[in-house]
Amino acid sequence: MPEYDLNDPTDLDIMRGQFNMYTADDWEEYVELAEERNIGYKNVNILKSAQRKAGIGKYLSAKVINWVLNLVDQLDGCDEDEEE
């Protein structure tokens, strides 16, 4: 995942756009995957928060969106490693 500048309005718009592309069902899958992999209580909770705010990223801070997108990237990366 690219590094975003949390103080750059363009980067914030890109991050929010990426966040808004995920549905509540997508987030549910990530929550289940995170629980299976035991990635930590805080990480699972932030994914659950993302699920509740699916499609309305404007209500989440830039740090939270960045954290969630990094988790998604990490979980997707683990899937790719298992498939090989």
**Inside any domain, residue 72:** yes
- Model pLDDT, residue 81: 52
This prediction has a pTM of 0.84
**Inside any domain, residue 42:** yes
The C-alpha atoms of residue 12 and residue 25 are separated, in whole angstroms, by 24
> Are the CB atoms for 25 and 52 separated by under 8 Å?
no
**Inside any domain, residue 2:** no
- Model pLDDT, residue 80: 57
**Inside any domain, residue 38:** yes
Domain that holds residue 30: 9-79
- Could you give the number of structural domains in the chain? 1
**Inside any domain, residue 84:** no
- Model pLDDT, residue 84: 45
Tens digit of pLDDT for each residue in 9-62?
Answer: 999 999 999 999 999 999 999 999 999 999 999 999 999 999 999 989 888 999
